[in-house]
Structure 1
Amino acid sequence: MKKMQIFEPAMCCSTGLCGVGVDSELLRISTALNTLKKNGINVERFNLSNAPQQFVNDKTVNHFINTKGVEGLPVTVLDGEIVIAGRYPTNEEFANLLGVPETLFGGKPKAVKVTPRRSGGCGCSGGKCC
């Protein structure tokens, strides 16, 4: 199973969903991560305020911060490699990166092209349709 981690800038709480002005993007991320968790996929989420040691211990993220600064956060790490920086993954990106159906997030299923059979009839027996 793929290992995904999200390293976020410092926020007042672990999700950033506290206070009077809730950021809609943080709400979407929390919802997406809860959906993934309910379906057996755990994505670790680290906030610089609450888990600074994770930023120090992860050599890839530590190098990123030393190069780009904390202004480059959030970063999404997949199997030890930064795959998205400066923003959160979209639901479609979550699906593609983790190999799960996009419909898991309530998205519309992709259209399927149906080709009618050339049977010469409607398929009902004896020419009588039910």
Structure 2
Amino acid sequence: MTKLELFEPAMCCSTGVCGPSVDETLLTITSVFEGLSQVSSVEASRHNLTSDPDAFVSNQKVLTLMKESGKDSLPITLVNGEVVKSGTYPSIEELTNYTGVVFVEQSESSSSCCGGSGCC
């Protein structure tokens, strides 16, 4: 089983839809982690500095990286306990490499109920 952990900076929400503008990266990350919750071969978890500070303190690798680089090290991605990325969110391709799960990005034209055909 692959263990994927994401340690994120302090935020009011993890979805990216709060505040004056939508954060597309956070929307993608939220969708990926929701999808991974249905995959039995992957244990995926997100930790927000605001709502889950104990996770940061109890993980020595995360704590050390934060002491060295401060908040610029966030977000931090761990796979099976090893830091694989810090400072930016992983891309869809990186998440596929980490988990073995292939993610499909929907374009705006295919996200409607009719796949963009206008039949609704």
**For the superposition of Structure 1 and Structure 2, which TM-score range results when normalised by the shorter chain?**
0.7 to 0.9
Q: Greater strand percent: which structure?
A: 2
Match runs of 1:41-120 below 5 Å: 41-100=42-101, 102=102, 105-106=103-104
Please, which runs of 5 or more residues in structure 1 have no aligned partner?
108-130
Query: Please, which moves more after superposition, 32-41 or 90-99?
Result: 32-41
Q: Distance in 2 between matches of 1:85 and 1:54?
A: 16
The Cα of 1:16 is off from its aligned counterpart by 4.0
State the partner residue of 1:24. 24
Give aligned-pair identity as a percent: 41
Q: Is the 8 A contact 2:16 2:24 kept in 1?
A: no
Q: TM-score, normalised by structure 2?
A: 0.79
Letter in structure 2 aligned against 1:9 = P
State the partner residue of 1:127. none
The Cα of 1:22 is off from its aligned counterpart by 1.4
Residues 17-60 of structure 1: per-residue CA shift (max 9 Å, x gap): 32331111101111111122133333110010111111100000
Q: Distance in 2 between matches of 1:72 and 1:39?
A: 28
Letter in structure 2 aligned against 1:84 = K
Please, which runs of 5 or more residues in structure 2 have no aligned partner?
106-120
Q: Secondary structure at the match of 1:3?
A: strand
Q: How many equivalent residue pairs?
A: 104
Q: Distance in 2 between matches of 1:45 and 1:51?
A: 9
